[in-house]
Amino acid sequence: MSVDKATVAKIASLARIRMDDAACDAMVPELNQILGWVEQLGEVDVTGVEPMTAVIPNTLRLRDDVVDADPLTGGGVRDKVLANAPAPEHGFFGVPKVIE
Amino acid sequence: MTELTELTVAAIRTGVAGGDFTAVEVAEAFNANVAAASQLNAFIVATPEKAVEAAQAVDAKRAKGQDLGKMGGVPIGMKDLFATNGVQTTAASHMLEGFVPQYESTVSQKLWDAGAGMLGKLNLDQFAMGSSNETSYFGNVISPWRRKDGGNADLAPGGSSGGSSSAVAARLCPAATGTDTGGSIRQPAAFTGISGIKPTYGRCSRWGVVAFASSLDQAGPMARDVTDCAIMLEAMAGFDPKDSTSLNLPVPEWEAGLNPDMKGKKVGIPREYRMDGMDPEILKSWDDGIAWLKDAGAEVVDISLPHTKYALPAYYIIAPAEASSNLARYDGVRYGLRDLPEGAGLQDMYAATRADGFGPEVKRRIMIGTYVLSAGFYDAYYNQAQKVRALIARDFEQAWSQCDVILAPTCPSAAFALGDKTSDPLSMYLNDVFAVPASLAGLPAMSVPAGLNSEGLPLGLQIIGKAFDEQGVLNAGLAIEQRAGFTAKPEAWWK
Amino acid sequence: MSEYRIQGATGEWEVVIGLEVHAQVTSKAKLFSGAATAFGAEPNTQVSLVDAAMPGMLPVPNRECIRQAVRTGMAIDAQINKWSRFDRKNYFYADLPQGYQISQLYHPLVGEGYLDIALDDKDPENTKRIGVERIHVEQDAGKLMHDQHPTMSYVDLNRSGVALMEIVSKPDMRSPAEAGAYVRKLRSILRYVGSCDGNMEEGSMRADVNVSVRKPGDEFGTRTETKNVNSVRFVMQVIEYEANRQVDVIENGGTVDQETRLFDPDTGTTRTMRSKEDAHDYRYFPDPDLLPLELDDAFIAECRESLPELPDAKRHRYENELGLSAYNAGQLTADVDVYQRYEAILAATAAKVGKSESDVATQVANWVLSVAPGVKNATEDADEANDTTAANAGIIALSAAGTVSGGQAKEIYEIVLKTGREPEEIAETEGLKQNSDTGAIEAVVDEVLASNADKVEEYRGGKDKLFGFFVGQTMKAMKGQGNPAVVNEILKAKLG
Ligand SMILES: [Mg+2]
Ligand SMILES: [Zn+2]
């Protein structure tokens, strides 16, 4: 499979990366080179092979239902949460107006 | 007395504990080296005051007769992928320029708790994507090494932990943190004549480390020798309930367990790593390594890792796929760069911000990752790659019935000049051909210096171990280190 | 319920409905972080670094959320998957800090199940089985506010990361009424199980309504999905509106777009949702920050053992063991609050009168379902706190013993609601007791019969209707306090 400019533009839009015409043009051969190369994976016989889920055998731990048990992963830290915000507004994050 | 900046982690720790010198003296000596090495561009931000502050605390503890910790009095460099509370953390991107986390990564916190101090935040490939440290928004890192045949071409320190490798090799810090997703500790270590270990996936917490590819990312130490790696890894590793993939196992006493005697150990030599057109000097260093391990008492066996060839392409599907999703959070809403063109709506703001904030390599990988996950392609690319990954892990699993550790080159070549491979992403990716299989399988792997090539540049040997067997890896590394007798160091031309 | 059909220009249309209900899991902390889930907090105060998707933050799942989803699955007789996995659903939106929602696509926690909805309130056995495709666990998004600033929207992440169960029905419903019954039944089950408070006003439960139309017997048509509909009434309105709109579109030669729509409660209409237009390609893949979720037998056993008696089982038991009518049993078991009140009052009443529960079940049911609510509605200054189990049982017991009449019971209840006084004491001091003293009643009856000898003559001559007259006269003489049963009995005996 190879990508064309329209596909590159569509992917860029999905990835929310603004890309002008020239950038899309430049990206086409780069992506095709890489995609052409990774496609050799198609040769591998994977019959009966499950896709890897856990690289090291380990099971998912579940935590107890306790609020703010660890301050690093608990709430009540609005100052920290907003500390780097480009447009903090009255305790909210400000973004350009959205029309739903 | 030798210069303090020539000392290893172990020697600094012993010297501070024994009162031969103070931790503050050590910090100041390294701070001076950092300040004098701006040409190398190894640091994005230097934090001399943090180093001194931590050293003062250690000296005060010593005065009170308290325990100084595993890393007591040792100043280190922190790869700028680890969130550091109150200190800018950028992942070498414009996106996070000026971002000051209000939290400390688990690994860096453990190091501070162990008595280490921070010399600064080390440069890296942007979002850890790169093998030469040429993708940083804050400029290339330059290796302290130069080819001996004259030619003052600036060489790549490797990547993505290129600031770390350059700084340790240039004696700007005795040790540094690295992260390894597909070779990002081992390859730069090999390029700069230092040691570095990527532990078993899950040994070091990923909490607070800017994510590149979650199923592959692992932190590890980079230092001048194997013992220092063991010491520092002990301080970094350990169970973290904040990371679901963290291994709930006690941290072994790797330093105390160091033993270079390889009697009764089998070393596997994977035949698929012997590739067509390989640099003869790399092959020679591999043969040296085999001889050294035999000399240390090991039995050497040929093994096969049949899917080796497919590791790199699988990696270049899985890692970008995960990255495309992991980097979606950089959208200009809550932190970091916001580019809001006149009259732009929310989605335009995202697109503008991400176009401006991400460098070309990051964009390329996000594009690949987005494509391989997009409707209709998931099975052909991502799922196929995860199946191949399972086969690669199975290859290793089968190899462990024949051997205890695997020996291979770290990289297919010595350091190349900056700019040599930037026009061809694929040739850059091929640098990690030997490093990536262990990453995909989550196995511990380290690089140790094996000697210099004919150009006077360091070469590294890689030891890959069974899951959880960092000790076996470190021991084999030590056996090589003792026989390689690597003492070369770069001329301090930047001073 | 008769078949629901849209009458179009080209004939009858059938509507096909599937619902994806998002139910907020009852838990103290969020699905993947320790921040609180309580409703109504100040903006961004219940947000952890994890919820704000700061660099390097990682998810760790909350056991209680998994447990509640499993229990919910068990309550609808669904398959519980011992091996499931979290996937990422990738899209960009300001209420989604990570740029992806952690959800489950490929391997949900709960597989196929069903619930039976009543098609007729009067006859709870007349049911229709609605299939449930799956239940998966996922993160809620944050909230956007659009009316606080002329050019900006404000983002509040308090809800971001709260655990939701997405309960996906099969397209088995065929009318607004069936959809309404489904949502009500599901809500009832969730509340029984305790896995969701079912509070639709606060957004604890909301439905994505999938609607399509077809000529009866044809293939499924193209469906639209109307998002986040937050009341049963609105769900029904959406279906009504969408079905008619789609029929119009098709009959006017157009085609229905498969799209996401928004409901406007003010106008009762739906419209295309602009902001999600291009979000079709979610690039789902397993979340690499999370390992597969494996449930062990002990966990599953605990979930099963902790399940309460569920609505249908309870309804059958009320009918079979307590002897209640089907209608009463259905009404009493429809909601947790109602059955809990009923069972408490029933137990207290039985204890008080020294009889078995089944002996007083019907009386208590009538009290709980009709008598008490009637009085309560009519009592303006009622204090909810006075409406205790003991007080209710006390009044019913007085009534069962014949101490008070039905009317007196209501009066006593009204005083209880207003003042919290004891029913027995009220009956005593307010004179709200009926007289069952046979001697006293006999004396009054004798008097009434003596002074109405002519009427007695007529009655005995066959004018049966006069019996009521004697009762009335006796009651009047006793100022309404005579026990009607005793009065009747004595009158019957005396009149021969
Ligand atoms: Mg939906
Ligand atoms: Zn959902």
Cis peptide before B160 (omega within 30 of 0): yes
Using the beta-carbon criterion (under 8 Å), do C285 and B91 form an inter-chain contact?
A: no
- Provide, as residue numbers in chain B, all residues whose Cβ is less than 8 Å from the Cβ of C58: 206-207, 242-244
Tell me if residue C331 falls in helix, strand or coil. Answer: helix
A89 Cβ contact partners less than 8 Å away, ≥ 6 residues apart: C148, C149, C152, C154
Same domain as C386, residue C266: no
Sign of CA dihedral B478, B480, B481, B483: positive
Same domain, C269 and C368: no
In terms of domains, do C419 and C356 share one? Answer: yes
Q: How many CB pairs under 8 A join B and C?
A: 98
Question: For each of chain B's 495 residues, which pLDDT tens digit applies?
Answer: 569 999 999 999 999 999 999 999 999 999 999 999 999 999 999 999 999 999 999 999 999 999 999 999 999 999 999 999 999 999 999 999 999 999 999 999 999 999 999 999 999 999 999 999 999 999 999 999 999 887 789 999 999 999 999 999 999 999 999 999 999 999 999 999 999 999 999 999 999 999 999 999 999 999 999 999 999 999 999 999 999 999 999 999 999 999 999 999 999 999 999 988 889 999 999 999 999 999 999 999 999 999 999 999 999 999 999 999 999 999 999 999 999 999 999 999 999 999 999 999 999 999 999 999 998 999 999 999 999 999 999 999 999 999 999 999 999 999 999 999 888 888 888 889 999 999 999 999 999 999 999 999 999 999 999 999 999 999 999 999 999 999 999 999 998
In tens, the pLDDT along C97-151 reads 999 999 999 999 999 999 999 988 788 888 999 999 999 999 999 999 999 999 9
Site of tokens 């027995």: C424
Q: C106 and C171 share a domain?
A: yes
Q: Which of B105, B108, B136, B160 is catalytic?
A: B160
Q: Chain B contact for A77, CB < 8 A?
A: yes
Question: Which residue has tokens 């709260």?
Answer: C162
CATH number at residue C459: 1.10.10.410
- C1 lies in some domain: no
Query: Which of C389, C412, C429 is at the close of a domain?
Result: C429
Residue owning tokens 């309930």? B241
Q: Is residue C188 part of a domain?
A: yes
Chain A residues with CB inside 8 Å of B216's CB?
A: 55
φ, ψ (nearest 5 deg) of residue C410: -65, -40
Q: What is the pTM of this model?
A: 0.93
Mark which of C269, C302, C335 sits at the end of a domain.
Answer: C302
Residues of chain C scoring pLDDT < 50: 1
Compute, in angstroms, the gap from residue B235 CA to the centroid of ligand 2: 42
User: Residues in chain B, how many?
Assistant: 495
As a whole number of angstroms, the distance between CA B422 and CA B104 comes to 34
| Residues whose CB falls within 8 Å of the CB of residue A22, separated by 6 or more in sequence, listed in order | none
C82 & C141 share domain: yes
Asked, for residue C378, whether it belongs to a domain, the answer is yes
B466 at A interface, C-beta within 8 A = no
Token digits of residue B94? 């414009």
Ligand nearest to the CA of C207: 1
Interface touch B102/A61, C-beta < 8 Å: no
The whole-number pLDDT of residue C279 equals 57
* ipTM summary value: 0.97
Q: How far apart are CA B361 and CA B369, in angstroms?
A: 12
- For B61-97, give the secondary structure using H, E and C: HHHCCCCCCCCCCCEEEEECCECECCECCCCCCCCCC
Domain boundary among C429, C446, C473: C429
Residue B271, min C-alpha distance to chain A (Å):
19
The candidate with the shortest Cα–Cα distance to B471, out of B289, B237, B243, is B237
Q: Does a structural domain hold residue C284?
A: yes
Residue from C8, C93, C11, C81 nearest C53 by CA:
C93
The pLDDT value recorded for residue C275 is 56
C354: domain range?
Answer: 311-429
A86 touches chain C (CB under 8 A): no
From chain C, the residues in CB contact with B213 under 8 A are 288
Please identify which of the residues B184, B195, B246, B285 carries the catalytic annotation.
B184
Q: Are B335 and A42 an interchain contact pair (Cβ–Cβ within 8 Å)?
A: no
Same domain assignment for residues C406 and C481? no
Interface test with C, best of A18, A60, A82, A84 (most C CBs within 10 A): A60
Q: In what order do the strands lie in the sheet with A88-89?
A: A88-89, A92-96, C152-156, C143-145
pLDDT at residue number C406: 87
The C-alpha atoms of residue A68 and residue A75 are separated, in whole angstroms, by 6
- C120 with C228, same domain? yes
Given C55, C57, C281, which is nearest B374 (Cβ)?
C281
Question: Using CB atoms, which residue from A27, A41, A49 is nearest to B367?
Answer: A27
CB-CB neighbours of B98 under 10 Å: 12
- Comparing CB atoms, the residue among B245, B348, B367 nearest residue A12 is B367
Tell me the residues of chain B between 323 and 382 that have a Cβ less than 8 Å away from chain A.
Answer: 324, 328, 331-338, 340, 344-352, 354-355, 358, 363-364, 366-368, 370-372, 374, 377, 380-381
Ligand nearest to the CA of C166: 2
Question: Could you write out the DSSP letters of every residue in A69-95?
Answer: SSTTT-S--HHHHHTT-SSEETTEEEE
**Euclidean distance between CA atoms C37 and C162, whole angstroms:** 6
- Measured in angstroms, the CA of B123 and the nearest CA of chain A are apart by 21
Number of domains into which chain C is organized: 3
pLDDT in tens, C47-88: 999 999 999 999 999 999 999 999 999 999 999 999 999 999
Same domain, C403 and C474: no
The reply to whether residue B207 touches residue C54, judged by beta carbons under 8 angstroms, is: no
The pLDDT value recorded for residue B433 is 94
Contact B103 C54 (CB under 8 A): yes
**Identity of the residue in B317, B352, B366 whose CB atom sits nearest the CB atom of A15:** B366
Provide the shortest C-alpha distance from residue B115 to chain A (in Å). Answer: 21
A66–C28 CB contact, under 8 Å:
yes
Q: Which of B345, B350, B388 sits opposite A41 (nearest CB)?
A: B388
Q: Which residue from C60, C153, C281 is facing B242, i.e. has the nearest CB?
A: C60
Residue B105 among the catalytic residues: no
> What pLDDT is attached to residue C479?
80
Q: Is B231 left (phi over 0), alpha (psi -120 to 50) or beta?
A: alpha
Instruction: Give the residue among B61, B55, B73, B56 at the shortest CA–CA distance from B13.
Output: B73
Ordered by where they begin, the domains of chain B are 4-264 (3.90.1300.10)
> What is the token pair recorded at B58?
């250690």
Domain-embedded: residue C95: yes
Q: Is B79 a catalytic residue?
A: yes
Question: For residue A77, what is the nearest residue in chain B, using CA coordinates?
Answer: B102
Classify residue C229: in a domain, yes or no. yes
Whether chain C has a CB inside 8 Å of the CB on A82: the answer is: yes
pLDDT given at position C2: 64
User: What is the whole-number distance in angstroms between the Cα of residue A15 and the centre of ligand 1?
Assistant: 22
Residues of B in contact with C57 (CB under 8 A): 207-208
Determine the distance separating the centroid of ligand 2 and the alpha carbon of C140, expressed in angstroms: 8
CB pairs under 8 A between A and C: 156
Single-letter amino acid code for the residue at C450: A
Q: Are residues C231 and C315 in the same domain?
A: no
For residue C430, give the 3-state DSSP assignment: coil
**Bridge partner list, B151:** none
- C453 and C396 part of one domain: no
Q: At how many degrees (to 10) do helices C357-366 and C336-353 cross?
A: 130
- Considering the domain architecture, whether residues C69 and C189 belong to the same structural domain is answered as yes
What's the gap in Å between A82 CA and the centre of ligand 2? 27
Do C338 and C376 lie in a common domain? Answer: yes
Q: What is the reported pLDDT for B140? A: 98
Residue C204 DSSP one-character state: S
| pLDDT at residue B277 in the model | 84
The reply to whether B184 belongs to the active site is yes
Which pLDDT does position C278 carry in this prediction?
A: 55
